Structure 1
Amino acid sequence: MTELRIDELLKGAYERLRFVSDSAQLDAQLLLAHVLGVTTAYFYTWPDKLLDEKAWAEFDKLLKKREQGEPVAYLIKQQAFWSLLLEVAPCTLIPRADTECLVETALSLINPRENLRILDLGTGTGAIALALASECPNARVMGIDLIDEAVALAKRNAKNNQLTVDFRQSCWFSVLEGSELEGHALFDLIVSNPPYIDPNDEHLSQGDVRFEPKSALVSENHGLADIEHIIDTAPRFLKVGAYLLLEHGYDQAQAVQTLFETKGYCRIVTHQDLGGNDRVTFGCWKG
């Protein structure tokens, strides 16, 4: 193979990916940066550098996988979220920028300097729990996930980002039921990005979500079953005046608000994500 300049390789990669990705140029840069062990800024500084055959073969292998729809985050095994760089794996969802809306909303409801107890349900990579821990240095943060591999991954992300979070394996609140945390050391804040997609949603066969674990995406009752369970159970672990925040689908805000109201929460509000879609609804437990 004739050696090619980096800028020429990236142009060719963009042409290959532009029919399968809305972010083809960035995808190509991230994949090549991963191969070379550099940041994307390198390509603007050294566009005329040549790629050797070994690096080209590795880059081409990743491009082929991306052409099949495999998410870039899984291919390079990392994703930025909040101020953190997180390891990702196919056992968890890929953290998305829209979920930062949940973190921002949570921080607006608390005093980050206080000694708070915070719980993140369905923590996955640990993204939400770790973001909150990074902003609340005095808080005791716990993250729970059903999947053992996800818990192990979240623990690695905590270590890599030098943050302290108590990650545990559990089916929602089950590990806490009957423990010292039920009815005694209650939480000041509970957050969750639970499964909320209807099992029959056509989007499950499109884009990156085809490669993500269905257990973290899909919920029965039109995507509301897990949300309803969390809303019903959370009061056993919330202090009076504490908040429960849930991420949900763009068209689920009214249904989620109704579930909060039916259970007796107050101050129920929905916030929008970066695209202006309803994304996070919270309620205050009035006891």
Structure 2
Amino acid sequence: MGSVPPIPRLVEGISYFDHLHDHHLRSSCSLHEKGWEDRDMIRIFVLMVFLFLYAPIAFVIASSFLDNGSFTLKWFEKVFEDYKVIRAFSNSLILAIASTFFSVILGTAAAYAYIRTKMSFESLFYTPVVIPEIAEALSLLLFYNLLSFPLGFYSVLLGHIAFNVAFVFVIVKARLAGYERSIEEASLTLGANEIQTFLRVTLPMAMPGIIAASLIAFTLSWDNFIKTVFTTGPGFQTLPMLIWSQAVRGVVSPSLNALATLMLLISITLAYLYIRVSTKRE
């Protein structure tokens, strides 16, 4: 017959396992509580970051609608009564439209050529996206000085195009890379030539990407400050430059807040449209 363990040892073993189980439960509870504490700290940190980023924007927007604590629109009326503001607004609008037009044409053509030929020039278009904008702006200024190119609208326009065409290329290339080439081949087989196939097949399929790229290019040009201030000349001023020139002189009036609110509203609207177009595209 086998030996039966003594009762005291059996009780001692059971007590030992109960102790281990209780210790495991206490450790699990403490880890669970610590996990919740870490999550709370992360939430607080994220909230502080959002407050740091967006509280000044909210203050600017609120200040543009208030006069002695009451709601008003007179600061916006004063903005549109100022000739300098109207001229700067017109300059920004014309510059953004022109740079968007040329950037979309060049970027779309480059994306189409890359998809069709797979030539190794893709990295060239990523360069303006990767390098710091101030370095690119300074290089443009030095290049203009080397060529004795007059600074003004056209120098700023060329700088914006050089920057925006990279974003257009990336967006349109991603769109063109996602469609079936067999559709183009079927069009050519049915008797359409290269131009007809591009206009009736390729271009409609790429249109959502082109529209999204246009919105991005317009937004980047609309509120661009660094390239503009480096490459502009006397007599040409955009809205970001006007706001900056008044702010550095200490002229932070409610009208200036209203002007910043208008720029912010246009940028947010364009960003929203870009998200909608990108969502439909996917």
- TM-score tier after normalising by the smaller chain length: under 0.3
Larger RCO, structures 1/2 (Cα 8 Å, 6+ apart): 2
Larger radius of gyration: 2
Per the normalisation by structure 2, the TM-score is 0.23
Higher strand share: 1
Identify, as 1 or 2, the structure richer in helix: 2
